[in-house]
Structure 1
Amino acid sequence: MLPAPAQKKQKNELIVVSGASTGIGAATALELASMGYHVLAGVRTDSEADAVRTGNIEPVTLDITVPEHIEALARRIADDREQRPLRALVNNAGIEVNAPVEVLPLSLWREQFETNLFGHIAVIQQLLPFLRRSRGRIVNISSVGGEAALPIFGAYAGTKSALEAASDSLRREVARQGVQVVVVQPGGVKTDMAAHSGSISLRLADGMSTEQQHLYGDLIETTVARNTAFLERAVTAEKAGKAIAKATTTTRPRTRYTLGKDAAFVIPLARHLPDRLMDRILAASHRSRSR
């Protein structure tokens, strides 16, 4: 169970956080609750609900790929006993399965897009009318990969790049309606999802053909090793949660926030350096890690 947050004055406003059972989502929900907001925390199981229920955090069953869950969430907001407005929606839920483009099964490509992109769009479509009434905010949690895709991260980075483009379009569509759209671009964050992604990649690699092992085996091993080492000094979920809560509630938000030194360094490089030079920098990074 999450520790009860030290609550400030109640805001009498609702904020939805998807993917709130662990990691960044749980930390964000806890921080927003401590600020006095009533957080509807999206979880997928009863045990996850029991773990996050505390103070101003109310767990709601929310698999964002299940339309009935999203419809139930919309009814919960509409029928709120205190008629509290929906101040913000934090689209955080996500999955990550990494393998080379040639190797990753299409079913896993589709699964990641269903969760990391289409699920968020479905939630936005349902909740946008509430945010229009409150002149609220949508916060989409992207990734450094949305602008700088590393080897074997093609599918995951692809979902984040698509979410970034959709966010830009949405921001321009709803600005005159009083709704703000913010993108947060984390780099490495110490979460269960990040910790497990390497072992998933290695299991997928075990199923590769002999030719694929020859083509990609070293690349997968060095990428996983590099990311595992980096996570030891990455931003904590608690620090990430505080930053996301601030982006969610600050009066005049930027359109984008980077999170972590790696994101702050890599994203400007990806924007301004020629592609071939960026390729060489990333390739050199992989070679140095493999020595």
Structure 2
Amino acid sequence: MTQPQNKELMVVSGAATGIGAATAQQLASRGFHVLAGVRTDEEAEAIRADGVEPVMLDITVPRHIEALAQRIADDPEQRGLRALINNAGIEINAPIEVLPLELWREQFEVNLFGHIAVIQKLLPFLRQSRGRIVNISSVGGVAALPIFGAYAGTKFALEAASDALRREVKAQGIQVVVVQAGGVKTEMAAHSGEISLGFADKMSPEHERLYGNLIRSTVASNTAFLKRAVPAEKAAAKIANVATKARPRTRYTLGMDAAFTVPLARHLPDRLMDNVLAASHRSQRNTHARRLDGA
């Protein structure tokens, strides 16, 4: 069945797989023309569909952002930009002492500075259309788990930047919304545990003594949770709703862990929150262990 065309553009970064790909498809099914950010020709061909136009968009590459802005300016149907959904991201988790500084910088380049660069370039289009920015943050932007310091740091920063931006552009008619995602079944989430275990395998004997059990137990707990996490398609439907509803809130949680953790982090004392998170991870890890044992 042919969907009605809304004659508006949507931009979704990080649209090759996972939440981004599902969000692009969801918005296209609602009649929008989605400019879906990918990084390779293979990714472009995989995502291409009715209403989904792949664009080369590594958000750390200025010429890609320039080309995206030019594509919007030169749209043959002169469609306005309804929303920018900043979804691209990477996740590399290891203890703060262990994670090399270049990997800290890489995560900030993608998860924060890249989004800021895209926002700066596309704000004139959103001002013209009185459009919307949807920043995909994380429960990690409110509560930082052990070994997630760098990734959570980027999300804490994105939360702060979103607050400042929302207050700066309100009078211009632009809305800024944050989606605080919890566990979602994606390739990035699944792969992050493998990366962490790779760090554990290469640590010095002293770092292994200090952090080895912590890394492996945290990965085990996250692996257990991801088995019952939100499917990417369900996450995408909520993000599409947030991007299109008339009067959105400033923040939404996504997933049961985010819905549970975000309010607690706002109200509990730090040490009590530490204990709650530690107990939750022990429970998930023990569940995972029982399943491995065939219990």
TM-score computed with the length of structure 2 as normaliser: 0.95
5+ residue gaps, structure 2: 287-295
Confirm or deny that 1:233 pairs with 2:244: no
Q: 1:93 aligns with which of 88, 98, 117?
A: 88
Instruction: Show the 5 A alignment for 1:24-103.
Output: 24-103=19-98
Deviation at residue 83 of structure 1 after TM alignment: 0.4
Structure 1 counterpart of 2:227, which letter?
E
Contact 2:38–2:56 (CA under 8 A) maintained in structure 1: yes
Instruction: Show the 5 A alignment for 1:111-190.
Output: 111-190=106-185
Instruction: Show the 5 A alignment for 1:211-290.
Output: 211-289=206-284
Q: Tell me the secondary structure at the aligned position of residue 19 of structure 1.
A: coil
Contact 1:19–1:93 (CA under 8 A) maintained in structure 2: yes
User: What is the alpha-carbon distance in structure 1 between the residues aligned to residue 217 and residue 2 of structure 2?
Assistant: 44
Contact 2:9–2:81 (CA under 8 A) maintained in structure 1: yes
Q: Tell me the secondary structure at the aligned position of residue 49 of structure 2.
A: coil
Deviation per residue, 1:92-111 (Å, 9 max, x gap): 00000000011100010000
Structure 2 counterpart of 1:106, which letter?
L
Q: Which residue of 1 aligns with 2:99?
A: 104
For the aligned residue pairs, the C-alpha RMSD in angstroms reads: 0.9
Q: How many residues are treated as equivalent by the alignment?
A: 286
User: What is the alpha-carbon distance in structure 1 between the residues aligned to residue 285 and residue 71 of structure 2?
Assistant: 51
Identity %: 76
User: What is the alpha-carbon distance in structure 1 between the residues aligned to residue 50 and residue 281 of structure 2?
Assistant: 45
TM-score computed with the length of structure 1 as normaliser: 0.97
Contact 1:15–1:40 (CA under 8 A) maintained in structure 2: yes
Contact 1:222–1:289 (CA under 8 A) maintained in structure 2: no
5+ residue gaps, structure 1: 1-5
Q: Which residue of 2 aligns with 1:3?
A: none
User: What is the alpha-carbon distance in structure 2 between the residues aligned to residue 165 and residue 7 of structure 1?
Assistant: 41
Deviation at residue 7 of structure 1 after TM alignment: 4.7
Q: Tell me the secondary structure at the aligned position of residue 39 of structure 1.
A: strand
Q: 1:17 aligns with which of 12, 19, 29?
A: 12
Q: Tell me the secondary structure at the aligned position of residue 142 of structure 1.
A: strand
User: What is the alpha-carbon distance in structure 1 between the residues aligned to residue 283 and residue 168 of structure 2?
Assistant: 45
